[in-house]
Amino acid sequence: MSHWSEDTLGDVTFEVSHDWDPRSGSLETNKMLFGSEGGAVYTIDDDAGYIVYTDESSMAEFLDDDDRIGLNFQTARRFKTKPEREQYLELRGWPPNLGPGWRHPAY
């Protein structure tokens, strides 16, 4: 069972989990928004809401085991509506209709 806590960015409220299993969402709705050297960002439409899933686990291989303690490399953010999720993506600088080859200008 996943544990969720509330968070906000700007005026968008959402729930955050570091133990949500992305395989619990519908595989038909999983979409890679973009990938980078550090990982990838996915959108997933789930029965429980609209998810933004970030996986930065490829960065973990650069850290010593002791340095990984307490760090979370996968994060799910759950939104009640699709427009709320799209607003969050825009606030992060991630337009909602990107693609695997897109690179954030800051990287």
pLDDT of residue 104: 54
**Overall pTM surpassing 0.85 (yes/no):** no
Q: How far apart are CA 39 and CA 62, in angstroms?
A: 13
Indicate whether 36 pLDDT > 70.
yes
Q: Where are the domains of the chain?
A: 5-92
Q: How far apart are CA 58 and CA 73, in angstroms?
A: 8
SS3 of the chain: the string is CCCCEEEEECCEEEEEECCCCHHHCCHHHCEEEEEECCEEEEEEEECCEEEEEEECHHHHHHCCHHHHCCCCCEEEEEECCHHHHHHHHHHHCCCCCCCCCCCCCCC
pLDDT of residue 39: 81
Decide which of 47 and 6 is more confident: 6
What is the average pLDDT across 25-49?
A: 77
Which tens digits make up the pLDDT trace of 38-94? 788 888 887 778 999 988 877 777 888 888 888 888 899 999 999 999 999 988 887
What is the average pLDDT across 30-40?
A: 78
What is the average pLDDT across 15-29?
A: 75
φ, ψ (nearest 5 deg) of residue 62: -85, -10
pLDDT of residue 51: 92
Q: Sheet holding 31-36: strands in order across? A: 5-9, 12-17, 74-79, 49-55, 39-46, 31-36
pLDDT of residue 101: 56
